[in-house]
Amino acid sequence: MSPLPDHPQRYALANELHARPFPSIEAPCHAMFLAIKPDSNAAARNRQRDRDHLLALLDRFGMAHPAPGATHHSAEIGRNRLKWESHTEFVTYTAFCPDEPGRPFDPALAEAFPADWLEQAPGSCVTSVLIRAELLPENEDEVTRRLKEWFVPESLACSRVLDGAAIIASDFRIDNAGHMRMAVFVRPGTGPRRVGRIVQRLCEIETYKTMSMLGLARARALSPRMGELDAKLSGLVSDMTGGADRPEDTLRALLTISSELENLLVQSSFRFGATSAYEAIVHQRIDVLREERFQGRQTFAEFMMRRYDPAMRTVKSSEGRLRDLAERAMRAGTLLGTRVDVDRSAQNQKLLESMNRRADMQLRLQHTVEGLSVVAISYYGVNLVANVLAPMSEPLGLGRGLLMALVTPPVVVAVWLLVRRIRKLLIRERDSEG
């Protein structure tokens, strides 16, 4: 018996679960994270350009290329370790480097990626993050002092994660160098893989948070136009309620509004759908960190609840409003279309009644014409028969007047029967054709 054949995608689907392994990081170190999004939408994204951009960086350092179609790759670029990932809408680059004494969150750390190489990027920067990972001091007051020095207290979020394995912090603000700052204080003895998972989660939280906020920009751009369409739609519905003089014109206006709303839905469906998916990932990534409060400060989850969730509710509200407007326009168009059909049916009924009246008049006129035809034909028929019988009437002593009086009744009856028969034949042929 031959072995059971494998599905063509069996290994690819199984390997997808391990497609993006976590980095292995030892504290102290720092990481420069960069997310690049093409300027075009996801459907028209040229993934080959993203790959060529990666290869250009690898070639600078003489490193091997990833396999064709790969969605992640790791390599050594100089003294830094590179981690590259390709996602649906964007690509990410992370450079890890052992920490050295110096200025915390030094903008020079971004030089891990050459400036001229960045200028050739096939897209624009969605987010860039400087992450500093160091060992947790024995005195946690030292952590508090550093947080005050590195971050804006007003928006600082800080918490213990993974059962006290580390303390994470960020103010989610962009500093003067154009980077967001995040700090990780790791408890001594924490394994490199766990540290790598923490750093990876922080990068994902920031990236997906930023990508989901693109939906807010789209919602704000749509809001004025939706307000205009809402006002127009309400006015048309009011005209329908009050009895519009020309419902056909109102129907055309409704169809125009409905078409524009459907177009807006098509243009926004991908962005709103992506925003919902990204929001779910952000909250899931925060949940798996298992946060605990640190010195009474707000956690990442609380920060998102206060600053991020309202933006996501605005996006959902705009999406719901747009769908509601489209449904309202469709319902109004259906109702008005029904009204137009009813009005046209009434007009057709009147037209049919008028046609019936004309047909009745034509029938009566036809009967009248038939009577006149019988008289006319009978007149000529009587004269014809009288002329034919005249020679035979003289031996009988019948005058022409008496002869015509005798032949007139049968000729009239015969002509009437003939006309009637012809009419019945025509009616029968008409009915059989109908």
Task: Choose one of 349, 381, 406: the last residue of a domain.
Answer: 349
User: What is the DSSP track for 76-127?
Assistant: EETTEEEEEEE-SS-EEEEEEEE--SS-TT-GGGGGGS-HHHHHT-SSEEEE
Task: Choose one of 289, 324, 349: the last residue of a domain.
Answer: 349
User: Do 183 and 228 fall into the same domain?
Assistant: no
Q: Domain containing 342: what range?
A: 213-349
User: Do 73 and 166 fall into the same domain?
Assistant: yes
User: Do 334 and 360 fall into the same domain?
Assistant: no
Position 117 scores a pLDDT of 95
pTM of this structure: 0.77
User: Do 160 and 249 fall into the same domain?
Assistant: no
User: Do 47 and 175 fall into the same domain?
Assistant: yes
**192 burial level (CB within 10 Å; 0-12, 13-18, 19+):** middle
Beta-carbon count within 10 A of 359 CB: 10
Q: Is residue 415 part of a domain?
A: yes
Q: Is residue 201 part of a domain?
A: no
User: Do 343 and 363 fall into the same domain?
Assistant: no
CATH number of the structural domain spanning residue 308: 1.20.58
Q: Is residue 253 part of a domain?
A: yes
User: Do 345 and 369 fall into the same domain?
Assistant: no
Task: Choose one of 349, 376, 405: the last residue of a domain.
Answer: 349
User: Do 66 and 164 fall into the same domain?
Assistant: yes
Structural domains in the chain (count):
3
Position 1 scores a pLDDT of 42
Q: Is residue 208 part of a domain?
A: no
Position 434 scores a pLDDT of 56
Position 413 scores a pLDDT of 77
pLDDT truncated to tens, each residue of the chain (434 aa)? 457 888 888 877 777 777 677 888 888 999 999 999 987 665 557 888 999 999 999 999 999 999 888 888 999 998 899 999 999 899 999 999 887 767 888 888 888 999 999 999 999 999 999 999 999 998 989 999 999 999 999 999 999 999 999 999 999 999 999 999 999 999 999 999 999 999 999 999 999 999 999 999 999 999 999 999 999 888 888 877 665 557 777 778 888 898 899 999 999 999 999 999 999 999 999 999 999 999 999 999 999 999 999 999 999 999 999 999 999 888 887 777 776 676 677 777 878 878 877 777 776 776 666 666 767 777 677 677 777 766 776 666 666 677 677 777 887 777 777 777 777 776 777 667 65
Q: Is residue 85 part of a domain?
A: yes
Q: Is residue 7 part of a domain?
A: no
Residue 307 CA to residue 299 CA, distance in Å, equals 12
User: Do 267 and 380 fall into the same domain?
Assistant: no
User: Do 181 and 217 fall into the same domain?
Assistant: no
User: What is the DSSP track for 211-280?
Assistant: HHHHHHHHHHHHHHHHHHHHHHHHHHHHHHHH--S-HHHHHHHHHHHHHHHHHHHHHHHHHHHHHHHHHH
Residue 82 CA to residue 34 CA, distance in Å, equals 11
User: Do 288 and 395 fall into the same domain?
Assistant: no
User: Do 298 and 183 fall into the same domain?
Assistant: no
